[in-house]
């Protein structure tokens, strides 16, 4: 945003500076043209006056001397035509076409002392002319060849000075625009960061009060709103955790009563009804356990996102292959009951380590393995440690029915379950818990289709533990 605003301000500043420079340079050109024209017209008037005196006295000595002196001084040619002859100085040829035309116009008493505007990179010379004589008779014509090179050099110098001043002014204005833009937009950038932090963690730090008064007031309002919202979110999470925790005692007591009741049931119908009650009670226990674990996982995400969070305080790494092997061994009895074949593979350095909470990594891997055994019975389940570039990947893949693309996108939603698995017991929060715990440990959960069939769940860590990797390479 800063670049866009600064870009617009830069264009406006450059346009302003260019317009200002154009006005100054145009004024300088007009001023030099006017000065040159006035000086040369005055010189031509003086030559014409001397020529009138020469024509009256029939003596051209003074006239020729003044013409030669002028031409030597200014490097400009003169032609004066009298009734008795034509005088020339400075090498100006009276037979040149433009000189003849100027003499012809002057003989008609048409004086021409105007000059074209001086330009810094122009070339060539110009002619000015006038006639002289009495009120009733033209006695001669005077032609001057004006050399604007000195005025052009002066104008180029002014252009150079103006250009340097323009660049300095533009740089100063752009610097000022950058400072003003930063001053105005810095609170907006802080606000954007705070909004993202609030979205990801449910809390945010207090915004600094900087910038214009309106933005300072906005920062104060957002800080107050974020604090209130954070308290509400935290209160809701705590309510869920406390509720699920405190319900355990009455549910446990209810289970004890149901167990005692089952012992007193006599016939088959009563036993089946009691078993149904027990199954529903076990489902309630499972849901409460899942809700509590989800509340803990969400709290871990916030705890890690806060400055100095849990993951930032980890002193060492965890060997993911070791934890993966332990969870695979733990799942083998369940795999035998469901007819699955468990395979453990290591396609990365077995000694690498990752920054992760060991208990939570085991919980994530156990959840993914149980999910594969539950929804893909009788298939091959592969647990693999991979390294792709700087990323460490732990993959659990099965060859079961898998999920559709739309279902993959919804699989981490709370309480979501595939319609194809409605007959299988579950709470719909396993993938949500894994996703939250992965985020809390600096990783992310990626669900995809396994080829040719099945589900592939990956926990992706951005990099391994540097110190441990260097030690292993040694």
Which tens digit of pLDDT belongs to each residue from 339-390?
999 999 988 888 888 888 888 899 899 999 999 999 899 999 999 999 988 8
Q: What is the pLDDT of residues 30-68, one digit of tens each?
A: 898 899 999 999 999 999 999 998 888 888 899 999 999
- Residues 306-321, mean pLDDT to the nearest whole number: 58
User: Would you put residue 111 in left (φ > 0), alpha (ψ -120 to 50) or beta?
Assistant: beta
Q: Is 266 exposed, middle or buried (0-12, 13-18, 19+ CB in 10 A)?
A: exposed
Joined together, the tokens standing for residue 333 give 């009895």
How is 158-179 classified by DSSP, letter by letter?
HHHHHHHHHHHHHHHHHHHHHH
Structure tokens at 222: 């957002």
CA 235 to CA 294: how far, in whole Å? 15
For 80, list phi and psi in degrees, rounded to 5.
-125, 120
Domains present along the chain, CATH in parentheses: 2-155 (3.30.450.20), 202-312 (1.10.287.130), 314-473 (3.30.565.10)
Per-residue pLDDT at 127: 93
Cis omega (within 30 of 0) for bond into 466: no
Helices (H), ranges, 145-267:
149-201, 213-246, 248-264
Query: What does the alpha-carbon distance between residue 346 and residue 385 come to, in Å, rounded to a whole number?
Result: 5
Which residues are paired to 86 by β-bridges? 81
Beta bridge partners, 368, equal none
pTM beyond cutoff 0.75: no
Q: Give the three-state DSSP class for 237.
A: helix
Q: What is the pLDDT of residue 407?
A: 87
Confidence (pLDDT) at 344: 94
Average pLDDT of the chain, as a whole number? 82
Measured between alpha carbons, how far is 458 from 369 in angstroms, rounded to an integer?
A: 12
Distance between CA 235 and CA 227 in Å, rounded? 12
Q: Could you tell me if 138 and 109 are in contact, meaning their C-beta atoms sit under 8 angstroms apart?
A: yes
């Amino acid at each position: 945003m800063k670049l866009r605003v600064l870009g617009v301000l830069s264009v406006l500043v450059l346009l302003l500076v260019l317009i200002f420079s154009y006005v100054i340079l145009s004024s300088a050109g007009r001023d030099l043209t006017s000065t040159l024209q006035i000086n040369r017209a005055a010189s031509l008037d003086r030559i014409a006056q001397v020529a009138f005196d020469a024509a009256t006295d029939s003596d051209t000595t003074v006239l020729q001397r003044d013409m030669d002196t002028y031409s030597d001084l200014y490097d400009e040619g003169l032609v004066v035509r009298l009734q008795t002859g034509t005088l020339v100085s400075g090498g100006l040829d009276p037979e040149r076409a433009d000189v003849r035309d100027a003499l012809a116009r002057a003989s008609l008493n048409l004086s021409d002392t105007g000059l074209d505007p001086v330009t810094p990179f122009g070339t060539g010379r110009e002619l000015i002319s006038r006639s002289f004589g009495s009120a009733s008779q033209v006695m001669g014509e005077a032609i001057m060849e004006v050399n604007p090179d000195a005025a052009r050099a002066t104008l180029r110098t002014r252009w150079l000075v103006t250009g340097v001043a323009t660049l300095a002014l533009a740089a100063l204005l752009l610097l000022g625009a950058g400072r003003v833009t930063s001053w105005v937009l810095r609170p907006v950038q802080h606000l954007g960061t705070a909004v993202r932090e609030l979205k990801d963690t449910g809390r945010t730090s207090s915004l600094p009060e900087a910038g214009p008064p309106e933005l300072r007031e906005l920062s104060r309002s957002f800080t107050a709103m974020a604090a209130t919202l954070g308290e509400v979110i935290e209160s809701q999470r705590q309510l869920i955790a406390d509720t699920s925790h405190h319900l355990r005692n009455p549910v446990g007591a209810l289970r004890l009563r149901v167990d005692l009741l089952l012992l007193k049931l006599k016939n088959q119908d009563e036993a089946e009804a009691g078993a149904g009650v027990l199954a529903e009670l076990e489902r309630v226990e499972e849901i409460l356990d899942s809700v509590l674990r989800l509340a803990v996982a969400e709290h871990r995400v916030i705890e890690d996102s806060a400055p100095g969070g849990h993951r930032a305080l980890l002193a060492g790494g965890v060997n993911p292959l070791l934890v993966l092997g332990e969870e695979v061994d733990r799942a083998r009895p369940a795999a035998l009951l469901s007819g699955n074949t468990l395979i453990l593979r290591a396609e990365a350095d077995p000694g690498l380590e990752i920054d992760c909470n060991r208990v939570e990594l085991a919980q994530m891997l156990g959840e993914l393995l149980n999910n594969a055994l539950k929804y893909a019975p009788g298939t091959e389940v592969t647990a693999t440690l991979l390294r792709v570039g700087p990323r460490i990947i732990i993959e659990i893949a099965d060859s079961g029915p898998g999920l559709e693309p739309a279902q993959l996108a919804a699989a981490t939603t709370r309480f979501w379950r595939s319609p194809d698995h409605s007959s299988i017991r579950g709470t719909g929060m396993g993938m949500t818990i894994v996703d939250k715990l992965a985020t809390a440990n600096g990783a992310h959960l990626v669900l995809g289709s396994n080829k040719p069939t099945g589900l592939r769940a990956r926990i992706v860590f951005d990099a391994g533990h540097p110190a441990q990797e260097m030690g292993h390479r040694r």
